[in-house]
Structure 1
Amino acid sequence: MCWAAPPALSAALEPDPLIDHPAWQRLKADVSELQRLQVKDGSVADPRQHDRARELVTAIDLAVSALVPALPHDEEYLTAVGKDISRWADTGFQVPDFLDSLVAFRPETQRTDGLVHLVVFPMYTQNGSTDRRIEAVLLRVRWPDLVADLEATQFSNGMFVPVTFLDFTPGYDTNSAVLFPETVAVREVPTFTWGAIFADREAARFRRVVRAAADTTRLALPPDAARLLDDQHLAEETFVLWDLVHDRTHMRGDLPFDPFMIKQRMPYFLYSLEELRCDLTAFRAAVRLEADGVPHARFVQYAILFDRIFRFPVTGTRVRNYDGLGGQLLFAWLHQRHVLHWTDSRLTIDWPKVPDAVIALAEQIEQLYWRSIDRPKTAHWLAAYALVSGTLTAHPASAWAVRDLPLDGPPKGLTDAVLDDEFPLSMFYEALSRKIADVVASTSGITA
């Protein structure tokens, strides 16, 4: 029945008329041209380009004002955008400062399914570019009733805002699937109250890459997993539920202060374990929700498993690729426990054994975190390396593998000793990467 069911039809997947609005089309074109005048820090450094930049800023301000009647819930924010961008021009196009408009933008207070926002900020786009440019994005909130109920009753996360793209300027024609306030150029750091994740991009690239990987490895998909790959709407809702639990996990559990250590320089495999911990927490929650009869819970388990073992390891460079490492670790963990098999050039999975095996890895990471509270930093780093290297084989040149480390110095020496590709791809992943590399590359900028 799952296999035969057609993809769900939803008004949420229909184009919004704002995409064709003349003011949006002008805004998109003018922002795109303005980007080409900006340098890395967001300023317009060449005084000869200031006249044209000023013309573009005036046009952008007019276009934003023309869109306010269609977006009355964003009026305060869009008015602040006009003031911020005009002040930027009036002060000589130095490093932009959009603090006032950033503070005025509060999408977490309006989590209504289908609500449209216009976002205009000078920012860098994660996984896209570290250059700050003015970007304009039309987006729509994705807040299914199922997720709203679970957030209200079990997984409180007032900062989480799942969204989908309607249209965007070139900075988002990339792999970036997030809109985070900390990427915006501001004069001082405010209190962050929201973070947005584009579920449509996550779902679309998942569906394309996993389909290619399953075909390449001749994996026989269960009917409900096949349905997930066929249905963009279902995949989006699945990713929203996954992201809801993942996002809130970063600051929950028995863990040291600031487990992600964003402002600290540390070995990248620790980032791998933190991201994997959050994903496996979501997986375990989905196992429980499936037992409670939540319809999307089984799909969340498929999404985490397939995205982790198929897409993450073969996406991006091999330079400190912490998401890729987490996927490699999960694959090897399942393989070494005879849950996943690569035999006769065919991948098979013992599906009934998957939940217990995945949860066992989650418990190993949680035990590492629990012990870390009583350990000094260096000892925690070494214990984390032991956890990873107990399943994955380190690079033959690794100083960490043989403990040839400067243990009597500052932690920086330990971090510097980590190779860019401390845990290289296995022969399985090297072959898979060659076979589906074009498919992975084709997902840049994808939304459906």
Structure 2
Amino acid sequence: MTEILVQDAVVAAISIADRVVDHPAWPRLKNAVEEIRGWQSKDGSIDLDADDAPTRAGAETVLGQVADAVEELSPLLPHDAEYHRALVADLRKWADGAFGVPDFLDSLLAFQPAASRADGLQHLVVFPMYTQNGNPDRNLEAVVLRMVWPEWLAELERTRYDNPLFCGITFEDFTSGYDTNSAVLFPETIAVREAPERFTWGGIFCDREAARFRAVTTAAVDILGLELPADIEEMVEDQQRCQEAFVLWDMVHDRTHSHGDLPFDPFMIKQRQPFWMYGLEELRCDLTAFKEAVHLEADGVAQGRDVQYAVLFDRMFRFPVTGERVRNYDGLGGQLLFAYLHKHDVVRWTDNTLKIDWERAPQVTNQLCGEIEQLYRDGIDRPKLVHWFAAYELVSTYLAPHPGSRWAKGPDALDLTQPPRKLVDDVLPDEFPLSMFYEALAKKLKNVIASTKGITAERTRNVEAAPGAAA
């Protein structure tokens, strides 16, 4: 009963809490962080001997502005009081150490957003970190976010998709590292002296994912002449519906990494593997979310149908043509999904128009999920290299390998006296190039995709007017 009362008090506080970004201390904090970012090296340290470096006293003054702003804002966020105290201590410790490689382990351990997943709850987060798909350097970043945890999602997590570490979140405001394509807040990106024994949370910005999805899907549908069912057309036009689809998709995807017949470390952190293995793992998790969404639709969960089409359209339209082609495992997964559906006559590109068999799409998409799951089950009994080749065979059944590929020629073309991890060097950077269809689509969508950098629900760029948006 005490726990329920505390939770109710937290939720009640949300409705009366001021927005952190409206407080005058927030722009001061943000500006100070931006100034510090300009001084930092790749590892997060500040070389005070560099020609363009500040004096130590100057750096301490600006860092003090960050600490002071955190202390000024912290009363708005009583649920983060312990974290903010630890954060200020870590900031001051960094200054005391002459701004060497930062270590924010203590404040990371104090930050526990998954412990209070109340819908709308604000957090002020400051860490030296890299932003995945954004800034590769460990710069100081500040972000204000809100938790996305409506009752319908909390009920699904309690009853069907247990994922106590997952945090659906949206942006309020952020520093430069998030004015990028990054849509995640992960603890493993933060600068610490040693990795914790286990991470206790992971956040995904569903507002950025939804806004980007809407922009790219709208352009792709127009370019391809695709006719959408009325309810899906309404979904693409509705930011809130899309956010709900993505937060559910993300929650199921995230837990799938540790569920199922897994022949290897599901996150593959300590293993060097060919990039198609990463591609299959990410696609397996997405297709599992798709399969669950089919069940949810049958059970009357409104978001179930939306998740299905979010997975299909994001995977087929955005993933294959986003980012560099070097080891682009998400792009590979999108290519594979499209090719599989095309091979099974669910999608047809005829007369320069894309047509989708909406009735068969769920069945055939689930069929691909089943083939990947069978690959995994069989992989438990295979040596690593044999499993890699079996996965390659699955992918190459639907996607043409590069004509110069050694892997495509089979085991006899590789030096099998080497350990498997060395054979990864023989994988081409773009082992499965784009098809002619995707080469053409990439040219049409590139400006729209580029214009979604830094996009959020409230910070939507005018992507419809981007050159080439409807070329």
Question: 2:28: which partner in 1?
Answer: 26
Q: Hey, what's the Cα distance between the residues in 1 that align with 2:18 and 2:236?
A: 25
Question: 1:8: which partner in 2?
Answer: none
Question: 1:202: which partner in 2?
Answer: 209
Question: 1:447: which partner in 2?
Answer: 456
Question: 1:382: which partner in 2?
Answer: 389
> Residue 251 of structure 1 is aligned with which of 251, 258, 271?
258
Q: Hey, what's the Cα distance between the residues in 2 that align with 1:254 and 1:412?
A: 23
Q: Hey, what's the Cα distance between the residues in 1 that align with 2:418 and 2:41?
A: 39
Whether the 8 Å CA contact 1:393–1:423 is kept in 2: the answer is yes
State the 1:224 CA deviation.
1.3
Q: Hey, what's the Cα distance between the residues in 2 that align with 1:214 and 1:172?
A: 28
Q: Hey, what's the Cα distance between the residues in 1 that align with 2:19 and 2:84?
A: 19
> Residue 435 of structure 1 is aligned with which of 421, 432, 444?
444
State the 1:72 CA deviation.
0.7
Aligned residue runs from structure 1 range 290-305, under 5 A? 290-305=297-312
Q: Hey, what's the Cα distance between the residues in 2 that align with 1:185 and 1:140?
A: 23
State the 1:16 CA deviation.
6.5
Q: Hey, what's the Cα distance between the residues in 1 that align with 2:251 and 2:317?
A: 22
Question: 1:426: which partner in 2?
Answer: 435
Question: 1:405: which partner in 2?
Answer: 414
Q: Hey, what's the Cα distance between the residues in 1 that align with 2:62 and 2:296?
A: 51
Question: 1:393: which partner in 2?
Answer: 400
Whether the 8 Å CA contact 1:16–1:166 is kept in 2: the answer is no
> Residue 339 of structure 2 is aligned with which of 327, 332, 339?
332
Whether the 8 Å CA contact 2:342–2:348 is kept in 1: the answer is yes
Question: 2:45: which partner in 1?
Answer: 43
Whether the 8 Å CA contact 1:144–1:237 is kept in 2: the answer is no
Aligned residue runs from structure 1 range 154-233, under 5 A? 154-190=160-196, 191-233=198-240
Residue 265, structure 1, aligned to residue 272, structure 2: yes
Q: Mean alpha-carbon deviation: is it higher for 92-101 or for 254-263?
A: 254-263
Q: Secondary structure at the match of 2:130?
A: strand
Q: Give the TM-score taking structure 1 as reference length.
A: 0.96
Q: Hey, what's the Cα distance between the residues in 2 that align with 1:17 and 1:137?
A: 13
Residue 346, structure 1, aligned to residue 353, structure 2: yes
Q: Hey, what's the Cα distance between the residues in 2 that align with 1:382 and 1:268?
A: 12
Q: Hey, what's the Cα distance between the residues in 1 that align with 2:286 and 2:306?
A: 14
Return 5+ residue gaps in structure 1 as ranges: 1-11
Return 5+ residue gaps in structure 2 as ranges: 1-13, 458-471
State the 1:439 CA deviation.
0.1
State the 1:146 CA deviation.
1.2
Q: Hey, what's the Cα distance between the residues in 2 that align with 1:445 and 1:157?
A: 28
Q: Hey, what's the Cα distance between the residues in 1 that align with 2:58 and 2:205?
A: 33
State the 1:414 CA deviation.
1.9
> Residue 63 of structure 1 is aligned with which of 65, 69, 72?
69
Residue 89, structure 1, aligned to residue 95, structure 2: yes
Q: Secondary structure at the match of 1:206?
A: helix
Letter in 2 for 1:437: K
Relative contact order (alpha carbons < 8 A, sep ≥ 6): 1 or 2 greater?
1
Summarize deviations over 1:322-341 as a string: whole Å, max 9, x none: 00000000000000100100
- The root-mean-square deviation of aligned C-alpha atoms, in Å, is 1.2
Summarize deviations over 1:333-378 as a string: whole Å, max 9, x none: 0001001000000000000000110011001000000011100000
Summarize deviations over 1:146-176 as a string: whole Å, max 9, x none: 1110000000000100100000000000000
Question: 2:145: which partner in 1?
Answer: 139
Change (3 A) 1:393 1:16: farther
Question: 2:244: which partner in 1?
Answer: 237
Question: 2:11: which partner in 1?
Answer: none
State the 1:442 CA deviation.
0.5
> Residue 356 of structure 1 is aligned with which of 363, 371, 377?
363
Q: Secondary structure at the match of 2:398?
A: coil
> Residue 125 of structure 1 is aligned with which of 126, 131, 141?
131
Letter in 2 for 1:66: E
Summarize deviations over 1:51-82 as a string: whole Å, max 9, x none: 22111111111000000111111110001100
Q: Secondary structure at the match of 1:401?
A: helix
Q: Hey, what's the Cα distance between the residues in 2 that align with 1:16 and 1:358?
A: 45
Q: Hey, what's the Cα distance between the residues in 1 that align with 2:109 and 2:20?
A: 24
Q: Percent identity?
A: 61
Q: Hey, what's the Cα distance between the residues in 2 that align with 1:406 and 1:178?
A: 39
Q: How many residues align structurally? A: 435
